[in-house]
Structure 1
Amino acid sequence: MPDLKHALLDRARAEGFALARVCAPDAVPELPGRLGAFLEAGRHGSMDWMERRVAWRGDPQALWPEVRSVVMLAEMYTPAHDPMAVLEQPDRGAISVYAQNRDYHDVVKKRLKRVGRWFMEAAKPGQDLDRVGLLSAAEPPAPEIKVFVDTAPVAEKALGEAAGLGWQGKHTNLVSRELGNWFFLGAIFTTVELAPDAPGRDSCGSCRACLDACPTDAFPAPYQLDARRCISYLTIEHAGPVDPALRPLMGNRIYGCDDCLAACPWNKFAVAASEVKYAAREDLVAPNLVELAKLDDATFRALFSGSPIKRIGRGRFVRNVLYAIGNSGNAALRPVAQRLCDDPEPVVADAARWATLRLGA
């Protein structure tokens, strides 16, 4: 069904996706083994949900036996500013580029659903295909679809590589010769068989810019990540106190980390983001740590309404802010931390005491 596939990919681009490609659901037979080794080594940290759904994540057909094709789509969120500049401002917090405005899960899923609805109509038996701009008069069976954006047990990066969106770089994120690496991934599973595209080809060569950029040495080897040392994991997924040995290495990164992404030389080909909802809010590009430390639960929720930051809760976020204050080297911020030493949330109180001692030394 080549005409249906081409029309689908064209429709995806018309909806705002930068790139779309197709793979078969069984295109990554080595995935269960790779995932199993990652889990066995404990590199997933406290993300026990990965263990509970390992069978689904390792095999799309275990998740949905009827799937015959996987459409992988790239959604750009390339920053318009230098994401590393804030790291030179120790009284400010560094928030990962993707979280500086609206939650991408909601934005991408709505776009995927629009593409999916069009596809189901276009592939419907007896459809007037000329009316939807197709060249072939073939009548495929009535299709079904499922759409996923990073919240289901789907190995988006491995499938994205298999579909030809790019390749998993040495930092384990997907990199594209056409797009760089500032993009989200969405997936459309369908019961319609579509011709697969050629898989991505590794073009990292001898480059190790992303590995050398990591502040915490979270890459045991190229193409391997130990989440337990990754600042994105520590600031977002990890709920308790962070290992005191790692806290100084976090600097002023209070939600996520972009260092390995920003270091990739393929970003010279990065495509600008077209979705205005990804444009950074001015107040989140380099927010003041003192103001963030004052947040109570209500003001935290109000500030981050519609943001992915909201899901980690006030306690975890202010914990991160206090680590940044402790790393600031600015003794004038010591009273800010000291006021939170008896915070009702134990993780906040622990971080406040650490920051107070660090700034008082």
Structure 2
Amino acid sequence: MADDLKSKLVAKALEEGFSACRITGPDAVPQIAARLQHYVDDGRHGQMSWMGERMGWRGDPAALWPEAKSVIMLAESYTPQHDPMAVIARPDRGAISVYAQNRDYHDIVKKRLKRVGRWLLEQQTEAGIKVFVDTAPVMEKPLGEAAGLGWQGKHTNLLGRELGSWFFLGAIFTTIELPRDGLAQGGCGSCTACLDACPTDAFPAPYQLDARRCISYLTIEHHGPVDLELREKMGNRIYGCDDCLAACPWNKFASEAREMRYAAREDLLAPKLSELAQLDDAAFRALFSGSPIKRVGRDRFVRNVLYAIGNSGDVRLREVAQGLCEDADGTVSEAARWAVSRL
């Protein structure tokens, strides 16, 4: 009975648009509590104070919802159809992480999860479910690895033989006892392509990340000015960074994205820094309506743009930066003055 339900569940998940569906349990990752504690104690989480909060839940999925018997882990591919690194060679343009070049994946994935969850409840009306996609203290990557979706690579992201590096994760916790899947086959071997690709040397060692040096963290999570040494290495990356993902050779086997709302918007493939720098709050909100970029706010985004302008070597952009030297936001005005001095 349970095997039959599981096979139908997987079929339903694929029908709804997910790229893969695997099952694990909330007790399958006992090692993560100590690892998370060590990470936070070392301060590698930077300003992400939420990582240290609710440590009991984050380090033990079983504590998050004690009634849960199974965790359904789902992957949704967003593999780009273009070369995500091409824009890096265009210093007058901004590089936006592939996942943020169109609609916010949180909304899309969560709606899919709810549809799969409702179907599951129709099969067993007495069951309970909870769905998560970056919305609770859930360690999705270790759970995804335990479910067999892939393995955490040397860049600490999850990757798989069929999925490559480009996929989102969602989780459905349920009170239904479902047959669990085994670990995935594959690994990184001696490859260090992702580590070698990092512009800021954010990996102290394979399988370890210091967020304080990661461009994704610096452009999205970090408040205030970025250290001078690091901002020079950010290049034209203004929201997130795909270098370590793009370098992974497993991507040659990656599943194609089926959801067109992940396909890059033309105006976000290689946007002009000169135009982005001049966004006020209203224009920023309008441009990034429905985008994950919206959550960082105009000030932090324009700060990133000014760092890219300072790194561009393009003297034509000096006037743009000059116009923001007296910006109302102190971090923006400091970034503008830095960019002017660089140009």
Report the AA paired with residue 305 of structure 1.
S
What secondary structure, in the 3-state scheme, does the structure 2 residue paired with 1:22 have? strand
What secondary structure, in the 3-state scheme, does the structure 2 residue paired with 1:72 have? strand
Is the CA contact 1:16–1:75 (under 8 Å) kept in the aligned structure 2? yes
Deviation of residue 150 (structure 1)?
1.4
The 5 Å alignment of 1:248-267 reads 248-267=232-251
Report the AA paired with residue 10 of structure 2.
L
Alignment pair present for 1:15 and 2:20: no
| Separation (CA, whole Å) in 1 of partners of 2:291 and 2:54 | 26
Query: Which segment drifts farther, 198-207 or 64-73?
Result: 198-207
1:299 to 283, 290, 315: 283
| Separation (CA, whole Å) in 2 of partners of 1:240 and 1:50 | 19
Alignment pair present for 1:331 and 2:323: no
Cα root mean square deviation, aligned: 0.7
What secondary structure, in the 3-state scheme, does the structure 1 residue paired with 2:228 have? coil
Deviation of residue 24 (structure 1)?
1.0
Residue deviations 1:202-253, cap 9 Å, x none? Answer: 5100000000000000000000000000000000000111011101100000
Is the CA contact 1:60–1:67 (under 8 Å) kept in the aligned structure 2? no
2:231 is matched with 247
TM-score normalised over the length of structure 2: 0.99
Alignment pair present for 1:214 and 2:215: no
Structure possessing the higher radius of gyration over alpha carbons:
1
1:232 to 216, 229, 236: 216
2:180 to 196, 203, 207: 196
2:148 is matched with 164
Deviation of residue 12 (structure 1)?
0.3
2:63 is matched with 62
Is the CA contact 1:15–1:111 (under 8 Å) kept in the aligned structure 2? yes
Is the CA contact 1:4–1:123 (under 8 Å) kept in the aligned structure 2? no
What secondary structure, in the 3-state scheme, does the structure 1 residue paired with 2:52 have? helix
The 5 Å alignment of 1:331-350 reads 331-350=315-334
Is the CA contact 2:160–2:186 (under 8 Å) kept in the aligned structure 1? no
Report the AA paired with residue 234 of structure 2.
M
Q: Aligned pairs, how many?
A: 342
Is the CA contact 1:168–1:202 (under 8 Å) kept in the aligned structure 2? no
Alignment pair present for 1:272 and 2:256: yes
1:87 is matched with 88
What secondary structure, in the 3-state scheme, does the structure 2 residue paired with 1:245 have? helix
Report the AA paired with residue 301 of structure 2.
F
Where does the alignment leave 5 or more consecutive residues of structure 2 unmatched? none
1:131 is matched with none
| Separation (CA, whole Å) in 2 of partners of 1:77 and 1:55 | 32
| Separation (CA, whole Å) in 1 of partners of 2:32 and 2:220 | 25
Residue deviations 1:152-184, cap 9 Å, x none? Answer: 110000000000000000000001001101000
Report the AA paired with residue 319 of structure 1.
R
Report the AA paired with residue 176 of structure 1.
G
| Separation (CA, whole Å) in 2 of partners of 1:330 and 1:226 | 31
What secondary structure, in the 3-state scheme, does the structure 2 residue paired with 1:111 have? helix
Is the CA contact 2:26–2:71 (under 8 Å) kept in the aligned structure 1? yes
Deviation of residue 151 (structure 1)?
2.4
1:281 is matched with 265
Report the AA paired with residue 238 of structure 1.
H
What secondary structure, in the 3-state scheme, does the structure 1 residue paired with 2:229 have? coil
The 5 Å alignment of 1:20-169 reads 20-124=21-125, 142-169=126-153
Query: Which segment drifts farther, 199-208 or 161-170?
Result: 199-208
Is the CA contact 2:161–2:186 (under 8 Å) kept in the aligned structure 1? no
Where does the alignment leave 5 or more consecutive residues of structure 1 unmatched? 125-141
- Identity within the alignment, %: 72
Is the CA contact 2:87–2:93 (under 8 Å) kept in the aligned structure 1? yes
| Separation (CA, whole Å) in 1 of partners of 2:56 and 2:43 | 17
TM-score normalised over the length of structure 1: 0.94
Is the CA contact 1:241–1:347 (under 8 Å) kept in the aligned structure 2? yes
Deviation of residue 60 (structure 1)?
1.0
Is the CA contact 2:236–2:311 (under 8 Å) kept in the aligned structure 1? yes
1:138 is matched with none
| Separation (CA, whole Å) in 2 of partners of 1:24 and 1:322 | 46
Is the CA contact 2:148–2:184 (under 8 Å) kept in the aligned structure 1? yes
Dislocated runs of 4+, deviation >6 Å = none
2:6 is matched with 5
Residue deviations 1:30-67, cap 9 Å, x none? Answer: 11011111111100000001111211111111111111
